[in-house]
Amino acid sequence: MSHSASSESVHVRAPGKINVYLGVGGRHDDGYHALATVFQAVSLYEDVIARPAADFSIVVRGVEDPDSVPLDDRNLAMRAAKLLAAAAEYDGGVALEIRKSVPVAGGMGGGSADAAAALVACDALWGTGFSQARLHELAARLGADVPFALHGGTAVGTGRGDQLNPALARGRFDWVLVTSDEGLSTPVVYATLDALRAEEGALADDPPLSLDVPIPVLQALRSGDPELLAESLANDLQAAAVHERPDLERTLSHGIRAGALQGIVSGSGPTVALLCSGPESAQEVQSALREAGLDPLHVHGPVPGARIIG
C-alpha cells in the first residue's frame, strides 16, 4: 500500500487513568472477569516519540528498574506499532521512545497509554490515515484499557471493561496519588479476589456475569461535586490488593486523616488515589503525606486521551 510517510518525528502524549468505580463480577469461560467500571483520565502522562526507521525498536526512559518494562514484542507499544503496520500493510518500521511518568504495574494503565500513544504516533508518522473508529478497533485488540487511553475523559467500561461509552462529567476533580516503588501484578490481584470470594462462600451465590455501574456514581460525576463522588467511590479489587499489600490500608487512612474526602486503590493497585475537595486541599494533603515519607502526586481529571503535541 502506498503511504506518505513523514520524515519528521511525531510526539504523542497519553494519560494514565484512575478507576473511580470498579465492579468485578464472575469469571467468563475465557478467564476474563465481567466488569463494570468508570475510568477517569488524569494529568499524569506517558510521552511516546515515534521516529522514522526501517525496523522496529523501542527505548524506555524514566523507569528506576530497567528490567520492569520489556523492550521486545511483549511491550504493548511495540505490539501496537506492529498491529497498525500489519493492518495498513506498511512495510517500514519505527523507532519508539517512551518517556514514562505513570508508575509501572501501578494500576493506572501506563502500558495501555503507551499502546494508545504508539497507535496515534505511527498513524501520523506513516501517513496511514486511519479513522478514530479504526484505531479504536485495533486498540481493543491490544487490551481492555487501551481504547480508553485513546478516548480519555471519563467513560464507562462494561463487558470485560472494553465496551466503552462516554460518561458526562462536569468540572474538575483533584486527586492525590500515592505511588509505590514496587508494582502489583494484575492477574495475581484477580486470583486473590477469586480466592477471597471462595473463602467467603460466594461460590454458593455466583457473582453475576453482567453488571452495571450504579446510578449514584454517574450522578456524582455529572454533578461535578467531589463530596458526592467521594460517597460513591468503590473498587471490588481493593480487598484483594490490600491482602497483597497491607500497607495500602495505612496509606488510605493516612490520606483521609490528612484531609482527603475519600480514598481508593486504583484498579488492581498499588497506586492509592485520594479524592480532595479542590486544588488547595489537594496541596495540603500532598504536603502532609510527603512529611510522612510517602511519595504523593497532585493530579486532576478528566483530561483528553492520546493526542499529538508540539
- Is the preceding omega at residue 166 within 30 degrees of 0, hence cis? no
Q: Quick one: which of 9, 43, 57, 186 contacts ligand ATP (CB under 6 A)?
A: 186
Nearer to ligand ATP, 75 or 235 (CB): 75
Name the minimum Å distance from CB 219 to ligand ATP.
26
Residue of 111, 82, 127 whose CA lies nearest to 268: 111
Q: Quick one: which of 268, 281, 286, 289 contacts ligand ATP (CB under 6 A)?
A: 268
- In angstroms, rounded to a whole number, what is the distance separating the alpha carbons of residues 27 and 280? 42
Q: Is position 255 an interface residue for ligand ATP (rule: CB under 6 A)?
A: no
Query: Catalytic: 145?
Result: yes
Q: Give the full edge-to-edge strand order of the sheet including 262-265.
A: 262-265, 272-276, 173-178, 296-301
- In angstroms, rounded to a whole number, what is the distance separating the alpha carbons of residues 99 and 46? 6
Residue 102 CB partners (closer than 8 Å, separation 6+): 16, 44, 45, 46, 108, 109, 110, 113
Name the minimum Å distance from CB 178 to ligand ATP.
15
Query: Catalytic: 236?
Result: no
- Exactly one of 145, 162, 174, 236 is catalytic; which is it? 145
Q: Is position 145 an interface residue for ligand ATP (rule: CB under 6 A)?
A: yes
| Crossing angle for the helix pair 132-142 and 110-126, to the nearest 10 degrees | 140
Q: Is position 267 an interface residue for ligand ATP (rule: CB under 6 A)?
A: yes
Q: Is position 207 an interface residue for ligand ATP (rule: CB under 6 A)?
A: no
- Site pattern 31..70 for ligand ATP (x: CB under 6 A): -------------------------------------xxx
- Site pattern 99..118 for ligand ATP (x: CB under 6 A): -----xxxxxxxxx-x----
Nearer to ligand ATP, 89 or 182 (CB): 182
Q: Quick one: which of 75, 154, 179, 180 contacts ligand ATP (CB under 6 A)?
A: 75
Name the minimum Å distance from CB 7 to ligand ATP.
25
Nearer to ligand ATP, 141 or 170 (CB): 141
Q: Is position 15 an interface residue for ligand ATP (rule: CB under 6 A)?
A: no
- In angstroms, rounded to a whole number, what is the distance separating the alpha carbons of residues 30 and 144? 14
Q: Is position 147 an interface residue for ligand ATP (rule: CB under 6 A)?
A: no
Q: Tell me, what amino acid is at 118?
A: A
C-alpha cell at 154: 471519563
C-alpha cell at 153: 475523559
Q: Quick one: which of 35, 41, 76, 138 contacts ligand ATP (CB under 6 A)?
A: 76
Active site (catalytic) residues: 17, 145
Contacts with ligand ATP, residue ranges (CB under 6 A): 68-70, 74-77, 98, 104-112, 114, 145, 183, 186, 267-268
